[in-house]
Structure 1
């Protein structure tokens, strides 16, 4: 006869978890992809009702606002930053003029600008203060003859003291707008019949029953899409305030266009299956052909993405790409002048631009620009290519936008650079280079005279070291620049519109650790260290946050959700004195008691070496074995040749193929851990791929 069960016979695996771990698990469950997409859909109904009752078009404050409306309902995008409205940081951003709003107002009489904010606030600072500041600056600049035009902020959210402090700065903002940006006031004034006035609407507002009339001003309706949640997310029944915010962290690469095209299918899919479905939708999505943007007031300088690019209309092409552009047309090889600046995307490319941009002057001054159309491109068309075009505008364009092949000799300072940059942001608000790119361009245009000895300064504009470049893309001469393979690898880990898929096999020799298979997806996103992190970490080099989620199926058919995070850091010789060459190291990512950040060192990758098997596979070992809790970790990696690339090569093959770059190899990689010790004895093999 069996004994009755007692409490000691029961096993509660969750007892081993801390309260904070349990709460974090509940919070992650509440912030699921399914809940986010459902919340966005619910909020979009409110947004559409606001547009209908005011009879005004929808304008998305990117990047969050674009999620709350189908693409066909969005007439324009704007870029008003919340940081420009933060307390004591109030600013009028001369880099983001958002003058395209005036075109919408001219056509429709007003607009509804949509944004949202996460739990804890009723409205985002972009709508509370940044847009009102912009409206007041526009009013005082364009309607100077009709009064002072007061600043308008919502009194229930902005105190009288803060309002007064902001208003004290408005006249200075107006002067900066007029002096730095030098706008065409008569042209802008023709777009508006009366001043602008912000109006705030939230889900707690009472909407008018009939469309209101505003005879004295153009209404700028500032719509906060999300409802306000009191308490934690788990108490809101699955609703997430500001669900679209920080979408890189949860969307698995999903973008608004694909979401709205497949909304019903996504909303009806189980949470566990959503990452795979999103990856499938991304694979099937055909990106649009590049549409070069003409930088006004020039008549011949264009900026574009290098993806699906038609180069036929252009006489002069500058590509800021990892590999040289290709063409199948032999006539282009003879007729088009071409400069390749071998640069990666992201921060690595922006930093390397500081050296590559020195090749621009000799190239420009060798050209005949008569009736020539110039194209500058990079993979995104929004960052490095914009920086190079900015350098061209500063050095070779006169005040009317006419570009010459010799430097104009104008004095270049930060104000002048901002003026030229405003030409680009006025053309399109997306043409806004990153801080790292601007730092490289500023260093080129305004070199530090103390950084070189006088003997090293060559003659020529800006006292830059001019390197002869080969403007003929058929030349087989090697480029003078060579990007280390570790830089290329690090960039390729991140750069994609879709996550990595992976399969992991675990084979354990100990019964205390199960064997089985993990399948899931992983992402690499840029990571910023907290202010409390030591300088030895923050200054080591650029960092990526690795995040994975998958299902672990044991050999006994038990199933678990597996999640893990690491921080990948690209260490450079400049940052670490003991490093002879760049290398990648991996740290644990700690998340405990509400705090998150970089943990201890896990493994460091040695230099890459080509496999001796002749199979175009690159291999690496860990620099040292890693001891963790008495167990020894040995790591090894394999990479398809596409992960390492052939950076900086320009040869005949580079112009006889198709547009896009030579040597497009396989994009996959593997990592293997052999773990031995008193507590663990297993082998882990993970293979990653895209597509």
Structure 2
């Protein structure tokens, strides 16, 4: 007779019942390094076929694009950021001009720009919007006499409404390019001779059998390397969409150059042996000699890493790091300056005080020695060395890039000069883009606070003092401080809907502002209230937003010493950039410059209407102009919403509790 079933026969052990553990294991397996490299190879074959089909050279949009192009076939690198194409944050970057692309386009008649994106999108915003904006700005700036050049955006990724909003900004972008960057329009126009037009290609696109002819324009083929994956990652038999994206998280130090140099070995190695192989390849690569990069348009200023540096061909070497370079202190031929800086953000802070040592170059390189070569280096060649190069370019380079080391004051250096010199660096190579903290230090040195040196200034003739700002007139910083200082707030909101599908009524409740652990000054707005509709229904409402203080060197240092303003973002657990700071996509921004004050009440509109799906949101804030010593006791915000399925007005008044 068989043994009766017991409870232990029916219930599996805990170890084998962990569905979460099993799913995580399956996901790790699907997203393995081997699967990523195999997916990159698969997509690279598609990229190569596009180059052959159009008869055009391949250009990598860094950082992702280089993984999909064998180094021997990569004609150029560019850096177009997807964030410059995010909804409501469209911009033309005067830092990332990518003018080196014009030489290639003029020589070869066009190009194929390669990028990719992870699951959830058919193409990256850099290809659907950022590059098209760049093409349109260049066309209007260089060929203005040929009429208005249309903006072309990817129809499968950009709605008509979003396209129209971007179109309205183009003329402003053109003015920024001409006024801030002051390009040689005739020289640039001579390179390409006719306008550029984007063409979008994905793995589902039809590919021409023979290279087509485009007599009216230069084709800029925007190639999304990866095919779109529907469903969860790893749901297509080991293929990973955008496998090269965010490679720092999985590559273990492997670079595109290393991958292509050892592709066959990497693809044929078992997953369990790959970490050791990659570690060995990375160590061998680290031991290679540094390759200096000449900063254009100069002819004597170079940047490199500090590994195995060969200083023999340079007259001056400047290193940034905790310790001086071994051997250089005793060199007699090479003049050596060590800027002692720690690593990371602490090093950026140290650079602010170390830059004061740069005037030694005026002694080492007097007039008549303009042909002497200068090398600047740090551990990566991408951080402190770039900041130091920027300072030298601003202090000693003229508009043509010629370096003359004469005693210099900072009086002529303003944010336009800094942006122009930044454009030189990023045009030379996309990686020469200093981090925000380093750029802040350079700006603090180049444009010191006038009040800091007022005590040492020579007497000046008396002048009429500027008129003071109206007492208590709110600034972005004062509003930001008041929102937090007087939290919590009680509020009453009236909702007036013109559509029967959306209720009207009143919401009453409380709202709090609490600081977020973000790299930017940010407050988490949390509200809870009761919504009483005009039809007699009542229910609880909860909302979260993030208020961010924007301004000096914010937005990845895109604005240099600009005015401050407040931006309202949606709340996201992971954050828009995946940093976990809670700051999600942009909702609306306060136009502090356009503030109007009537009867001691300041009215501030939003900079641009927010497009959410097919609905447009317009905002107006009202804030009292408070007297000295009296805190803000109330404030109001009104949203006007228009769309095919929404049409309502929301007015909220907040009062100090």
Aligned to 1:207: 207
- Secondary structure of 2:197's counterpart equals strand
CA distance in 2, matches of 1:168, 1:597: 33
Query: Residue 298 of structure 1 contacts residue 403 of structure 1 at CA under 8 Å; is this kept in 2?
Result: no
C-alpha deviation, 1:284, in angstroms = 3.1
**Equivalent position of 1:343 in the other structure:** 341
Whole-Å Cα distance in 1 between the matches of residues 170 and 23 of structure 2? 45
State the 1:358 CA deviation. Answer: 2.5
Q: 1:336 to 1:262 in 2, by over 3 A?
A: closer
Aligned to 2:237: 237
Distance in 1 of aligned mates of 2:91 and 2:133? 8
For residues 344 and 73 of structure 2, the distance between their equivalents in structure 1, rounded to whole angstroms, comes to: 31
Q: Residue 274 of structure 2 aligns with which residue?
A: 274
Shift of 1:377: 1.9
Query: Which structure 1 segments of 5+ residues have no match?
Result: 460-531, 541-589, 599-691
Partners of 1:283 and 1:458 in 2: CA distance: 53
Map of 1:302 onto structure 2: 302
Closer, same or farther in 2 for the Cα pair 1:403/1:293, shift >3 Å? farther
Give the whole-Å Cα distance in 2 for the aligned partners of 1:442 and 1:195.
36
CA distance in 1 between counterparts of 2:214 and 2:310 reads 47
**Equivalent residue of 2:253, what SS?**
coil
What stretches of structure 2 of length at least 5 have no aligned partner?
459-511, 521-572, 582-657
Contact 1:114 1:224 in 2 (8 A): yes
Distance 2:434 2:453 in 1: 31
The match for 1:55 is 55
Superimposed CA distance per residue, residues 239-276 of structure 1 (whole angstroms, 9 cap, x where no aligned partner) = 11111111110111111122222222222222222212
The equivalent residue for 1:132 is 132
> Residue 435 of structure 1 aligns with which residue?
436
State the number of aligned residues: 471
Matches within 5 A, 1:341-490: 341-361=339-359, 364=362, 368-371=366-369, 372-400=372-400, 401-407=402-408, 410-450=411-451, 452=452, 454-455=454-455, 457=456
Considering Cα pairs closer than 8 Å and 6+ residues apart, tell me whether 1 or 2 has the greater RCO. Answer: 1
CA RMSD of aligned residues (A): 3.0
- What residue in structure 1 maps to residue 544 of structure 2? none
Q: Are 2:361 and 2:405, in contact at CA under 8 Å, matched by a contact in 1?
A: no
CA distance in structure 2 between the partners assigned to 1:425 and 1:328 by the alignment? 29
- Written as runs of structure 1 = structure 2, the 5 A alignment for 1:271-670 is 271-285=271-285, 288-327=288-327, 332-333=331-332, 335-361=333-359, 364=362, 368-371=366-369, 372-400=372-400, 401-407=402-408, 410-450=411-451, 452=452, 454-455=454-455, 457=456
Q: Is the 8 A contact 1:395 1:410 kept in 2?
A: no
Kept after mapping to 1: 8 A contact 2:301/2:374? yes
Secondary structure at 1:274 match in 2:
helix
Helix, strand or coil: the match of 2:166? helix
Alpha-carbon distance between aligned partners in 2 of 1:302 and 1:453, rounded to the nearest angstrom: 32
* Per-residue deviation, residues 388-424 of structure 1 (Å, max 9, x unmatched): 1211222223334332231055422212211122222
Instruction: Give the TM-score, by structure 2 length.
Output: 0.66
Residue 192 of structure 2 corresponds to 192
Whether the 8 Å contact between 2:329 and 2:336 is mirrored in structure 1 is: no
Give the match for residue 509 of structure 2.
none
Task: Map 1:75-94 to 2 at 5 A.
Answer: 75-94=75-94
Query: How far is 1:172 from its partner?
Result: 1.0
What is the TM-score normalised by the length of structure 1? 0.63
Query: What is the rounded CA distance, in whole Å, between the counterparts of 1:288 and 1:187 in structure 2?
Result: 38
Q: Rate the CA distance shift 1:90–1:597 in 2: closer, same or farther, 3 A.
A: closer
Is this contact kept in 1: 2:294–2:300, CA < 8 A? yes
When structure 1 is superposed on structure 2, of 394-403 and 254-263 the one drifting more is 394-403
Cα deviation per residue 1:174-229 (whole Å; 9 max; x = unaligned)?
Answer: 11111111112222111113110100000111112222111111111000010111
